Every structure is written in structure tokens, then in C-alpha cells.
Amino acid sequence: MLVAVFGAGYAGLALAQTLERTLPADAELVVVDESTDHLVQHELHRVVRRPSLAEEITVTLTDALDCKVRQATVTDIDADAGVATLETPAGAEETLDYDVGAVCLGARTAFYGLAGVREHATPLKRLADAREIRRTFLDLSDGDRVVVGGAGLSGVQVAGELAALADEQGIDAEVYLLEQEPAVAPAFPTAFQRAVHDALLDAGVSVRTGTAVERADADTIALATGTDLDYDQFVWTGGITGAPALDDDRPVVRADLRLSDDTFAVGDAARVVDGDGEAVPASAAAAIREASVAADNVRALVEHRREGSGGFEPRLARYRFDVPGWLVSVGDDAVATVGPTVLTGRPALALKTTVGAGYLGNVGGIREATDLVREELGIGEEQAVDADTDDIVDVSKAE
């Protein structure tokens, strides 16, 4: 029996690592991903200012997994038939038939058909994007303007990073952050939003909420207010859409994460409605916790199919959204929530770094975790190795 995990982001890697431990010995597990590496997406913005961190936030999949890893782009999934269409690195088309599958392909940047935005803005989804943002920024002159469109966590972090880079490089450039909703980090608690907004202002970022982008050309962004905003660099973090293999859709799945009888959808690839009927925000923390539920359900389905249990379906676990806190960096500052408590400054930065390092350690990147702590907190190697994360509330680790 073949179990296939499509995608090795937060959800896919966590799911595959759990299935390696829990699947019956006679079940075959394969992970399909377009890359040979797992990218720690929530630290990607750091590469804009510190290119050397690229090595610390990537983990080779064959180091993290013992199962078969297949490099290919998933171009289509027939969830009902249990068939995936793949494109190999050489450009050949192949199909993969599976018995039980999990779609963990993540999401892509959404441009919403806004004229000129895709053509003139740089997203932040890959290492190449972070490097391009850095290269463009370093070519700016005093008085130039950078505009970041979209003030979710990615937009907040890249705006903060660019403001810090401007200070480090002595470039007197303006950094604007636009958000169409009334507050930054619009999907998050009010106290968190306020602290993030204050941190952005302290970092020197000009924040404009209630400001929607309508279109862009090579020099100007047209706003829904009827005004134009000139720019010299444009970064777009304005939302997400589904993977091409799912026709750019993020299908809705219920709390059991079932996309079809034999296929599950986990993480940002789907719009998850949890066991309480609440929409789950797209985040690394949610994806990893969903993966734990998906692993239980994949195993239950595999055992059910092996035993030939007639027409009775197995009882499946249900996901309930419960994340103990949120973390975001703003340049050299950070904001964190742990329960009702909001942390800022050094404690929040230490918490965020420890969580990131803890995640890397969990997925097998021990060296990368140590290097990340040393780079972010400026402590020695022995301290980094001995850093105790047990007393830190980890908002990314699966329970």
C-alpha cells in the first residue's frame, strides 16, 4: 500500500516524519516535493538583511526523512481517483497512483488580478525572492521609497527588515507598509495588532491602513483612495492562493481534513474549518498541528484498508485550532503573545529565535538550529548548543 505526501513544507514534513514512526511496516511512504530542501518560511525575511542565514533556514529533505523522497513538481491531483500528475526536473510528465494521500502543497502569492502588480512587485516566498529584494534595495539612493503591499505577518516582517537594512547601510530610504484592512496583522488579536503597529513605527516604517492597491506600473501604485503613490521598489505580500495542482484553489476541508475518501489536505493548501466551526488562519503553527491530526487519520485509513473492514468507515480524528501564541519580528525588535500576555523587545526576540531553533532541531536541523541562535541572539556556540527550550512556549511545535 502506497501512502503519498505531496509537498514538504511545514505540514508535509511534519506529517511525513510522524508517518515514518506510525505507519504499518508493510506500507510504503513517499514524499514528493519540487525542491530537495525544506525551507523555514517564517524566517525567510531574515535573508533580506543577512544572506548567510539562507543555509541556516534550509534542511535537506533526505537528512530529515528516512522514507523515499521524490523531486518533482505536482501539476495535478485527482483526489477522487488517487492519481497525481508530476513533472520531473527534466521536464518529463509522469503519474503516481497512491492508495492514501495528503496534499500539503502550501499556497502561492495571490495577486488578485490587480493590473501590473505581478509584473512590477517582488513576492516573498522563496530564497530567490529574498535575495532579489535585497539586491534591489541596495541599489536605492537617499530619498527613494520602498512600498510593501500587505501587512500580514510576512509583510510586517519584510518591512521591518528593510527598515533595519536601511539603517545598517546608511540609506535614507522611506519604507511604506500598506494594508487594506483597518489594522496591521488583521487576522490576529487586537492587543497583538497594536503592539505590532507600535513596533513598526519605532522601526521607522510608515504604516497606512485602510489603503487598498488597485494597480501598479513601473513607478506608481494607484490606490483605491484615488491617489497615487510613487515608489522605487515594490514588494507584494498581499495574500495567498492555492497551488496550481488544485487549480489555484484552496479547497475547504472540515475538521477531519478529508479532501476525498482517500486524500487529505493539510496546511495552507486548504481552508480548514476546525471542530468548533472556526476558520483556521494560514500559519506554520496551524499547519504543524493539523499534520498531527492528519497523521492519525492517514494511519487509521491505511489500517482500515488493509483489514478490509467492509463498508464501515474508520473513526477519524478532528482538528481543533488552539495555538498558544503568535510571534513576529520587526527588524531587531519582535512581538509575541503567550496566552493573553504581549511581549516585545528582547524577551519576544529571544522567544521567537528559540522557537525557530526548536523547530529546526525537531526536523533534524541541529547544526542549523545552533547557527540560527548564534546569529540572531549573538551568543557563543556553547550557549547555543546548551540552550534549553523546554520552558519556552513553542507556537510551532506539534503537540
Residue ranges per structural domain of the chain? 2-34+72-107+242-307, 111-239, 325-386
* Pairing, β 37-39 against β 58-60: antiparallel
118 confidence band (pLDDT: 50, 70, 90): very high
Residues 6+ apart with CB under 8 A from 39: 9, 57, 58, 126, 127
* Lowest pLDDT segment from 104-108, 111-115, 320-324: 320-324
Equal fold, 2-34+72-107+242-307 vs 111-239: yes
Amino acid (one-letter) located at 266? V
Q: Sign of the C-alpha dihedral, residues 222, 158, 74, 267?
A: negative
217 confidence band (pLDDT: 50, 70, 90): very high
In the chain, the N- to C-terminal Cα span, in Å, equals 28
Q: How confident is the model over 363-367, as a mean pLDDT? A: 62
Backbone dihedral angles phi then psi of residue 34, each to the nearest 5 degrees: -75, -15
pLDDT: is 387 or 244 the higher one? 244
DSSP 395: S
* Pairing, β 68-71 against β 28-33: parallel
The pTM score is: 0.89
Strand, coil or helix: 28: strand
Q: Is the pLDDT of residue 386 over 50?
A: no
Q: What is the pLDDT of residues 306-354, one digit of tens each?
A: 887 666 788 999 999 987 788 999 999 999 998 889 999 988 988 887 7
Query: Which is the CATH superfamily of the domain at 2-34+72-107+242-307?
Result: FAD/NAD(P)-binding domain (3.50.50.60)
- Using an 8 Å Cβ cutoff, are 108 and 240 in contact? yes
Q: Sign of the C-alpha dihedral, residues 22, 24, 25, 27?
A: negative
* Lowest pLDDT segment from 142-146, 212-216, 278-282: 278-282
Query: What distances in angstroms separate CA 16 from CA 23, 104, 261, 295, 376, one per listed residue?
Result: 10, 10, 19, 8, 29
Classify the phi-psi angles of 7: left when phi > 0, otherwise alpha if psi is within -120 to 50, otherwise beta: left
**Average model confidence (pLDDT) for the chain?**
90
Q: Is the pLDDT of residue 387 over 80?
A: no
Backbone dihedral angles phi then psi of residue 129, each to the nearest 5 degrees: -65, -45
Degrees, nearest 5: CA angle 84-89-95:
20
Classify the phi-psi angles of 116: left when phi > 0, otherwise alpha if psi is within -120 to 50, otherwise beta: left
Q: What is the pLDDT of residues 37-55, one digit of tens each?
A: 999 999 999 999 999 999 9
What is the predicted pLDDT for the residue at 338?
85
pLDDT: is 307 or 146 the higher one? 146
What is the predicted pLDDT for the residue at 380?
37
- 111-239 — its CATH code? 3.50.50.60
| Helices and strands (H, E) in the chain, number of each type | 11, 25
Q: Is the pLDDT of residue 394 over 80?
A: no
Backbone dihedral angles phi then psi of residue 89, each to the nearest 5 degrees: -55, -25
Backbone dihedral angles phi then psi of residue 350, each to the nearest 5 degrees: -65, -40
What is the predicted pLDDT for the residue at 306?
86
Q: What is the pLDDT of residues 158-202, one digit of tens each?
A: 999 999 999 999 999 999 999 999 999 998 889 999 999 999 999
